[in-house]
Chains A and B, each alone.
Chain A
Amino acid sequence: MKPRHQRMIAIGAGVALIAVAAALVLKAFQGNVVFFFSPSQIANKEAPVEKTFRVGGMVEKGSLRRQADGVTVQFVVTDTAQSIPVSYTGILPDLFKEGKGVVAQGRLGPDGVFHASEVLAKHDENYMPPEAAHALSKAEADRAARSVVTSGSGR
Chain B
Amino acid sequence: MSSELFRLASPQAFFPVAGKVIPWFGALAAALAAAGLYVGFVVAPTDATQGEAYRIIFLHVPAAWMSMFLYCVMAGWAGVGLALNTRLSGMMASAIAPTGAMFTFVALWSGALWGRPTWGAYWVWDARLTSELVLLFLYLGFIALKEAIPDPVRADRAGAILALVGVVNVPIIYFSVQWWNTLHQGASVSLTRAPSMARAMLAGMLLMALAAWMYSIATALARVRRIILERERDAEWVRLTKEGVGAAA
Contact = CB atoms under 8 A, between A and B. Distances in A.
B is a partner of A: yes
Interface of A: 4, 7-8, 11, 14-15, 18-19, 22, 26, 30, 33-38, 56, 92-97, 100, 103, 118-134
B183 A94 contact: no
Contacts of B84: 4, 7
Interface in B125-150: 125-127
Contact of B168 (A11, A15, A37): A15
Interface secondary structure of B, over-half rule = loop
Given A18-B165, A123-B49, A103 B183 contact: yes
A87 B57 CA distance: 33
Interface secondary structure of A, over-half rule = mixed
Contacts of A36: 181, 183
Interface string B36-55: 00000000011111100010
B73 interface: no
Interface of B: 45-50, 54, 57, 79, 82-85, 117-121, 124-127, 164-165, 167-169, 172, 179-183, 185-188, 196-198, 201
Contacts of B50: 95, 123, 127
Given A22-B168, A133-B49, A35 B126 contact: yes
Given A94-B117, A127-B57, A35 B185 contact: no
A36 B50 CA distance: 22
Contacts of A33: 127, 179-180
